[in-house]
Amino acid sequence: MSQDWKKYQEENKERFLNEMLDLLRIPSISAKSEYKNEMQRCAEAVKDSLLAAGAGKAAVMATDGHPVVYGEKIIDPAKPTVLVYGHYDVQPAEPLELWHNDPFDPTIKDGKVFARGSADDKGQFYMHVKALETLVKTNTMTTNIKFLIEGEEEVGSPNLGKFVAANKELLKADVILISDSSLLSMENPSLDTGVRGLSYIEIEVTGANRDLHSGTYGGAVANPITILAKMIASCHDENNHITIPGFYDDVVVASDEERALINKAPYNDQEYKDELGVKELWGEKGYSTYERTGIRPTIEVNGIWGGYTGEGAKTVLPSKAFAKVSARLVPNQSSEKITEKLLNYFRSIAPASVEVKAELHHGGEPYMTPIDSKGYKAASKALETTFGKTPIPVRGGGSIPICSLLEKELGIKIIFMGFGLDNDNLHSPNEKYNIENYYKGIETIPYFHKFFAE
């Protein structure tokens, strides 16, 4: 069958790429309400692509937010079923001036597709659509395949839980397969064994009841930006250890064995720094880079604003300051508990000279998948077949908030088989996806189904 796959994919290579580019042209930005129609249009395009690929059934299904696309190709209910999860929504593209091309006009340069959503996640879930097509058209399906492609991943999947709970029978499967993560490199293939959880909050600090003249009042009235900056700075001590009381209480300490495995992954400190344009790295003392981004929880400020930020100078003592702050969580931290701790921390440390409002945005639980499961083994064998090397198990630093919920509702394990690279600029300007990776994914996925069915 592998010869048939190769031939079919070779013959349809151009079209596979062009179809992905078409999908990237739809600005499916879930966070902005003015893109509601584009979201609907994108969902319809995904549905059509599933039907064109040979799905027996596909539908755009309404939720209280952006719709979900469901599709399936059932060959035999007695055969194992793989549920592919992905998302068709993308992050906002701002700051637009830093892009070298229009983020929704995919541009190919040096074998890479530059466009918002190219790697996260349109280009990646679309590999599964083309893998389905390959299996259908070469008549080599060995599993039933279902698709759950949502439109709210980038805003924390607020409606997917309800959707999954209401459609358990429809989504019934033996394993969930997700391509929304990256490989260590093309030379060193890897499989993620988990994702971190997330707690996201927003803080508003208010001083005086209006913006003030900084000469008349400065020195006598608290500046909310200064106060907010101090509060944020107090989250880390001199070892970059998080100071929020109880933050580490439930953290599962990684075994020496797991730490050794993580640190065996190929890593070049100088290359890592050069690629990012920094002279020194930063992080929690006592841990390596991959430990910091995999097995340790973190807190980051995602945005901070207030006062005058326009052209020129304005001597103002602002009335308000704002920040968006999020924590990445590891097993067994609970998003709800950590959110409470974050909110309480910011409320409790504020001096009486300001008022603090702190509110939850969204959260998600950390998730881990065992490496001795049938699904992991099938994925490992699939990558070994097409890369010629056994993939290294690594803990992913990102979050897919829906993971623990999918497992809880459907009672099955998740396999993370991502084909991106860390330098794909996810959520950043000039997001890209290497065409080589796209084709490699399409080549590899059919093997997953083959090995999973064996």
150 is a site residue for Zn ion (CB under 5 A): no
- State the minimum distance, in angstroms, from the CB of residue 425 to Zn ion: 13
To Zn ion, the closest distance from the beta carbon of 125 in angstroms equals 9
- Please enumerate, as own/partner, the contacts of 286-289 that have beta carbons within 8 Å and a separation of 24 or more: 286/239, 288/262, 288/263
| Closest approach of Zn ion to the CB of residue 87, in Å | 6
The answer to whether the peptide bond before residue 332 is cis (omega within 30 degrees of 0) is yes
Q: How many residues bind Zn ion (CB under 5 A)?
A: 3
**Shortest CB 153 distance to Zn ion, Å:** 6
Amino acid at 443: E
Does an H or E element contain 451, and which?
helix 435-453
Alpha helices in 156-218 (DSSP H): 160-166
Instruction: Output 129 or 356, the one with its CB closest to Zn ion.
Output: 129
H/E stretch holding 393: strand 392-394
H helix intervals, 181-286: 224-233, 256-264, 269-276
Q: How far is the CB of 259 from Zn ion (least distance, A)?
A: 27
Name the residue nearer to Zn ion (CB basis): 181 or 333: 181
Cβ distance to Zn ion smaller for residue 72 or 120: 120
Nearer to Zn ion, 120 or 431 (CB): 120
Residue 120 within binding range of Zn ion, rule CB under 5 A: yes
Q: Nearest distance from residue 433's CB to Zn ion, in Å? A: 12
192 binds Zn ion (CB under 5 A): no
- Binding span for Zn ion by CB under 5 A among 14-22, 173-181, 338-346, 367-375: 173-181
What is the nearest approach in angstroms of Zn ion to the Cβ of residue 400?
7
Closest alpha carbon to 176 in 404, 334, 337, 441: 404
Q: How far is the CB of 123 from Zn ion (least distance, A)?
A: 11
- Say how far apart CA 162 and CA 170 lie, in whole Å: 14
Name the one residue in this structure whose structure tokens are 């070892």. 239
* Contact (Cβ atoms closer than 8 angstroms) between residue 298 and residue 304: no
Region from 121-129, 270-278, 280-288, 346-354 binding Zn ion, contact rule CB under 5 A: 121-129
User: For residue 10, what are the contacts with CB-CB under 8 A and spacing of at least 6?
Assistant: none
* Part of the chain binding Zn ion (CB under 5 A), chosen from 113-121, 170-178, 238-246, 340-348: 113-121
- Name the residue among 160, 155, 2 with its Cα closest to residue 70: 160
Binding characters for Zn ion, 68-107, by CB under 5 A (x = yes): ----------------------------------------
Residue 156 or 318: the one with the smaller Cβ distance to Zn ion is 156
Residue 198 vs 205, nearer CB to Zn ion:
198
CA dist 234 to 227, 303, 442, Å?
11, 17, 47
In angstroms, the CA 12 to CA 54 distance is 15
Stretch that binds Zn ion, among 175-183, 188-196, 197-205, 444-452 (CB under 5 A): 175-183
Piece in contact with Zn ion (CB under 5 A), picked from 120-128, 223-231, 292-300, 313-321: 120-128
Tokens of 67: 């719709």
When binding is defined by CB under 5 A, the residue of 72, 133, 180, 204 that contacts Zn ion is 180
Q: What is the dihedral of CA 446, 119, 84, 131, to 10 degrees?
A: -30
Question: Could you say which of 121, 365, 424, 431 contacts Zn ion (CB under 5 A)?
Answer: 121
Least distance between Zn ion and beta carbon 192 (Å): 12
Exposed, middle or buried: residue 266 (CB in 10 Å: 0-12, 13-18, 19+)?
exposed
Cβ at position 175, least distance to Zn ion in Å: 19
Binding site for Zn ion (CB under 5 A): 120-121, 180
